[in-house]
Amino acid sequence: MNNALQGAHVLVTRPSHQAENLCQLIEQQGGIAVRFPTLEVVGMNPKPENPPDYPTIATNPLPKLFNWHWLIFISANAVNFALKANGGKIAQLKAMQIAAIGQATAKALQNVGLQANLLPKVGFDSDALLAMPEMQQVKGQSILIVRGQGGREELANVLRSRDANVDYWEVYQRIMPDVDNTEVLSLLEQNKLNVIVITSCEVLQNLLTMLGAGYTKHLTTVSLVVVSDRIKRFAAEMGFTRIAVTEYPSDSAIIDAVCVVINRVC
């Protein structure tokens, strides 16, 4: 273990099931990983009265998957929850042309026995996918976007503007978890919270809500490490002024950016 982070407290706001590798990297670099998930990813809950562990169901499970020219998976979560929603069967999915946004999504597909036919060579977001030649000429094609409930509309809107027929398969939902904020508030009050890692606008919005309006001003003085320019713009609108953007959304790129921020401050 080296001491690049010099005992710095790094707030990790990712969902619990996606945070551990990053936390271990922080600790290997001599930092203190403060686990505070501000988002939880769960299966679709068809009725409000059902408990959170109710069996996973998609909002519109589509049995006739062969009718689609493309399946676009937005994230690794989309892959994993789609498989659950489809009863673990991949035969139908294998017959489809599959597009993935980002290396993590492509890896998740590979882990379940599926292959991404289309993966942007440069970039890791919807814009990168839309720039691919295969997504330029989609007139008359049917495209199914596999995502969580209430995701961004930009990808579908652009594809529809190119005369594609686009629908959603929403296979999971994002909720704000009930997490004890005592440790984080204590670190803020003592000015011991050094860096916050933010991987989506929703994660940041939830963080502000979970800590309360009384701590917003204090929170905005802390350095952020974010994974896209879009999140940086959102954070700036929220009042944050010290924002570093990673080169890639990977854990290794995040830890590199955290180390740069800490050593710049020290």
For 166-216, write each residue's pLDDT tens digit. Answer: 999 888 999 999 999 999 999 999 999 999 999 999 999 999 999 999 999
For the chain, give the percent of residues with pLDDT over 70: 91
**pTM, entire model:** 0.84
Please give the distance of CA 35 from its chain centroid, rounded to a whole number.
16
The answer, yes or no, to whether residue 57 has pLDDT greater than 50, is no
What average pLDDT score do residues 212-230 get?
Answer: 95
Which pLDDT belongs to residue 230? 92
For domain 65-175, the CATH class is: alpha beta
For domain 9-39+177-265, the CATH class is: alpha beta
First-to-last C-alpha distance (Å) of the chain: 19
Q: How confident is the model at residue 56 (pLDDT cuts 50, 70, 90)?
A: very low
The kind and range of the H/E element at 163 are none
CB burial of 90-121 (b: ≥16 within 10 Å; e: otherwise) equals eeebeebebbbbbbbbbebbeeeebebebbbe
The answer, yes or no, to whether residue 265 has pLDDT greater than 80, is no
Which pLDDT belongs to residue 124? 81
In whole numbers, what is the pLDDT of the chain averaged over residues?
89
**Cα 229 to Cα 234: distance, rounded to the nearest angstrom:** 9
What average pLDDT score do residues 133-160 get?
Answer: 93
The answer, yes or no, to whether residue 50 has pLDDT greater than 70, is no
What average pLDDT score do residues 116-139 get?
Answer: 91
Name the more confident of 90 and 138. Answer: 138
The kind and range of the H/E element at 130 are helix 126-130
SS3 content of the chain, % helix, strand, coil (to 5): 40, 20, 40
Which pLDDT belongs to residue 65? 62
Q: Report the 10 Å Cβ neighbour count for 88.
A: 8
Considering the chain, tell me which residue range(s) the CATH 3.40.50.10090 domain(s) occupy. 9-39+177-265, 65-175
CA atoms within 13 A on the CB side of 189: 8
